[in-house]
């Protein structure tokens, strides 16, 4: 019996290794397909900053290697973000055999919505948040100051915001999973609304650069997504109970 368990454990480890390798391979293939366009990708991501800079101001590189490594690093992150559907597919393929049929029907929409919400968070950050934040910070300061942002510093700033908003937009999915699993309920979460407001600003403080504007622009959507998660969780948890009753 112990040998059977050991054999099953080893087979699971082998499958997990294969799934991880496939996920990494998908990232590598996307990266190789995009690396030729690395400079164009960086120009696209930097366009909200470039359009906000004062006239005759440009971005600079304070490190000799930055003009090469900054676009290279960004392209790697773009490949990672683009490969998320494949990565989640590998995770799903690994855990799906251990789920019941009704659990699969419940989790597939959540999996798909998590992908869409992550991309929606990044899009919201790029098209809404970055122009507001960068427009504000490039318009303040002494008149004698010449603003010339470093390309590596801007990349770190933008990636932090992209990751923060992508994760924050997963709040409805997290709430639905918690309520579906029975870890909490919508009524319990509603009673904790005042704490959620404080938590949203605390989390935003850790996820975003140290400025009040970007923290507020993250905290407010988080609170709106929290309310959306409560609404969806209330509707989403009806179906399992009915199925269980029929069974």
Which residues, 6 or more positions from 226, have their beta carbon under 8 angstroms from its beta carbon? 171, 172, 175, 189, 196, 200
pLDDT, position 245: 42
Tens place of pLDDT for every residue, the chain, 247 residues? 456 566 667 887 888 899 999 999 999 999 999 999 999 999 999 999 888 887 777 888 888 888 889 999 999 999 999 999 999 888 888 888 877 787 777 778 888 888 999 999 999 999 998 988 888 877 776 666 677 889 999 999 999 889 989 988 998 888 888 887 778 888 888 888 888 889 888 888 887 777 788 888 888 989 999 988 888 887 665 444 444 444 4
Q: Which residue has the tokens 């909490």?
A: 184
DSSP string over the chain = -HHHHHHHHHHHHHHHHHHHHHHHHHHHHHHHHHGGGHHHHHHHHHHHHHHHSPTT---B-SSTTHHHHHHHHHHHHHHHHHTHHHHHHHHHHHHGGGS-HHHHHHHHHHHHHHHHHHHHHHHHIIIIIHHHHHHHHHH-S-TT-----BHHHHHHHHHHHHHHHHHHTTHHHHHHHHHHHTS--HHHHHHTHHHHHHHHHHHHHHHS-S-HHHHHHHHHHHHHHHHHHHHHHHHHTHHHHHHHHH-
Write down the pLDDT at residue 246: 44
pTM above 0.85, yes or no: no
Say what the pLDDT of residue 30 is.
Answer: 96
What is the reported pLDDT for 122? 94
Q: Please choose, from the candidates 126, 134, 224, the residue with its C-alpha nearest in 3D space to the C-alpha of residue 172.
A: 224
């Amino acid at each position: 019996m112990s040998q059977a368990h050991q054999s099953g454990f080893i087979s699971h480890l082998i499958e997990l290794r294969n799934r991880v390798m496939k996920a990494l391979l998908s990232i590598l293939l996307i990266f190789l397909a995009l690396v030729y366009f690395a400079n164009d990708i960086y120009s696209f991501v930097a366009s909200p900053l470039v359009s906000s800079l004062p006239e005759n101001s440009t971005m600079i590189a304070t490190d000799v290697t930055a003009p090469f490594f900054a676009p290279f690093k960004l392209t790697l992150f773009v490949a990672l973000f683009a490969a998320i559907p494949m990565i989640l597919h590998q995770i799903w393929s690994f855990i799906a055999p251990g789920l019941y049929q009704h659990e699969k029907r419940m989790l597939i929409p959540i999996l798909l919505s998590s992908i869409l919400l992550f991309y929606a968070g990044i899009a919201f950050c790029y098209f809404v948040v970055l122009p507001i934040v960068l427009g504000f910070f490039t318009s303040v300061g002494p008149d004698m100051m010449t603003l010339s942002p470093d390309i590596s510093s801007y990349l770190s700033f933008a990636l932090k915001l992209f990751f923060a908003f992508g994760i924050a937009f997963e709040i409805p999915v997290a709430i639905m999973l918690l309520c579906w699993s029975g870890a909490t309920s919508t009524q319990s979460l509603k009673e904790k609304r005042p704490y959620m407001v404080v938590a949203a600003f605390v989390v935003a403080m850790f996820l975003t650069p140290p400025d009040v504007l970007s923290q507020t622009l993250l905290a407010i959507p988080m609170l709106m997504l929290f309310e959306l998660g409560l609404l969806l969780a209330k509707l989403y948890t009806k179906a399992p109970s009915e199925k269980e009753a029929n069974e």
